Amino acid sequence: MNDEINEEIIAYAARIYYAFETFRKVGNYTNIKINCSTAIVTVKSWQDDLARYAEYHKDIGFERLNKCKQAAYLMYWIVKTKPIYLPLSQSNFSDKQYFDPEYTAINEVFAFTLCSDMLGIDPKRNNDFYNKIYKQFRYDLYYRDINPKHLFLTLEVLCEAMSA
């Protein structure tokens, strides 16, 4: 057992931070920020869960930790810890754009987008289907109780559907 945040965790957190920076810029989001210490908690929880999962399944011969499982746990922890926030002030609090789900569910949107890329999903392959699934995930991740094991199954089906 190691009592320190290791180099790998720091590198994962920095990658999440950098992915957020790219996402913010390309998506033309305004005023959103990421909390670095929460990002560290996000990736540490993600990696700890994966390590526990691997340890638990070590002796029963399951295929372990493919990309869908890793993406499911990452999606779960981003949504659970919510590292992205919207520090609004009195002057822009009532601005209508910030009531759009693209902002109110910004962590859910970021989690889905990042994990879709991680899984090699190509939105261009079926724009309409991707758009529909994106909005469904945005809604479900925001409003419903989720757990990584169910997410894993959903992501496997999504990958199959998008590659068909």
Using CB under 8 A, list all residues that contact other proteins: 1-6, 8-19, 21-27, 30-31, 33, 36-37, 39-40, 44, 47-48, 50-55, 58, 63-67, 69-70, 113-114, 116-118, 122-124, 127, 130-131, 134-135
Contact 133, 158 (CB under 8 A): yes
Query: Please, what is the minimum distance in Å from the beta carbon of residue 112 to other proteins?
Result: 9
Contact 88, 98 (CB under 8 A): yes
Query: Please, what is the minimum distance in Å from the beta carbon of residue 131 to other proteins?
Result: 5
C-beta closer to other proteins: residue 21 or 143: 21
Taken as a whole, the chain contains a residue count of: 164
- Non-local (6+) Cβ contacts of 34 within 8 A are 16, 17, 20, 83, 84, 85
41: phi then psi, degrees, rounded to nearest 5: -60, -40
C-beta closer to other proteins: residue 18 or 143: 18
C-beta closer to other proteins: residue 51 or 153: 51
Which residue in 142, 113, 110 sits closest to 38, CA to CA?
110
C-beta closer to other proteins: residue 118 or 159: 118
C-beta closer to other proteins: residue 50 or 159: 50
d(CA 82, CA 96) in angstroms, rounded, equals 22
Query: Please, what is the minimum distance in Å from the beta carbon of residue 76 to other proteins?
Result: 15
Query: Please, what is the minimum distance in Å from the beta carbon of residue 37 to other proteins?
Result: 5
